[in-house]
């Protein structure tokens, strides 16, 4: 089955530093990947849509200069949290589709970011 791999699974960083999270599609090519954020006991909120070879599309209220997305190949998208602050601490999850535009999203196992 479709596998989406996310790395790292958890990271702790100091306030003001930047953190990069990688999302890979292991057995399929993904022209589009989606980045979600999840706060404790809350649902998934879409942050941005990552498009291979072009700029990402950000949801309303998401700072594109703070959450940098790069989708340089058909199997890799990265999310960089720049100048992280404690309020950026959250669970970040990426996802991708293997088929048609209304086929299911397959999710990575998420990255727990803690900013101290």
Partner 1 sequence: EDQVTQSPEALRLQEGESSSLNCSYTVSGLRGLFWYRQDPGKGPEFLFTLYSAGEEKEKERLKATLTKKESFLHITAPKPEDSATYLCAVQAGQYGNKLVFGAGTILRVKS
Residues forming the site for partner 1 (CB under 8 A): 4, 6, 32, 34, 42-46, 49, 91, 93, 95, 101-110, 112
* Contact of 38 with 93, CB cutoff 8 Å: yes
- Taking the complex as a whole, how short is the minimal distance between the CB of residue 83 and partner 1, in angstroms? 26
- Is beta strand 4-7 parallel, antiparallel or unpaired with respect to 105-107? unpaired
- Taking the complex as a whole, how short is the minimal distance between the CB of residue 108 and partner 1, in angstroms? 5
CA distance between the termini of the chain: 37
- Is beta strand 111-115 parallel, antiparallel or unpaired with respect to 10-13? parallel
Minimum CB distance to partner 1 smaller for 66 or for 106: 106
Minimum CB distance to partner 1 smaller for 75 or for 111: 111
Task: Give the Cα-Cα-Cα angle 113, 84, 69 (nearest 5 degrees).
Answer: 80
Minimum CB distance to partner 1 smaller for 39 or for 83: 39
Minimum CB distance to partner 1 smaller for 82 or for 98: 98
As a whole number of angstroms, the distance between CA 3 and CA 106 comes to 7
- Taking the complex as a whole, how short is the minimal distance between the CB of residue 40 and partner 1, in angstroms? 10
- Taking the complex as a whole, how short is the minimal distance between the CB of residue 89 and partner 1, in angstroms? 14
């Amino acid at each position: 089955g479709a596998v989406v791999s996310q790395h790292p699974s958890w990271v702790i960083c100091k306030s003001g530093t930047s953190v990069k999270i990688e999302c890979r599609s292991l057995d399929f090519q993904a022209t589009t990947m989606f980045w979600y954020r999840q706060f404790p006991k809350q649902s998934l909120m879409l942050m941005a849509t990552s498009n291979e070879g072009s700029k990402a599309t950000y949801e309303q209220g998401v700072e594109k200069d703070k959450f940098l997305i790069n989708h340089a190949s058909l199997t890799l998208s990265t999310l960089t949290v720049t100048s992280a602050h404690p309020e950026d601490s959250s669970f970040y999850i990426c996802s991708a589709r293997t088929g048609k535009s209304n086929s299911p999203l397959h999710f990575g196992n998420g990255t727990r970011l803690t900013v101290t």
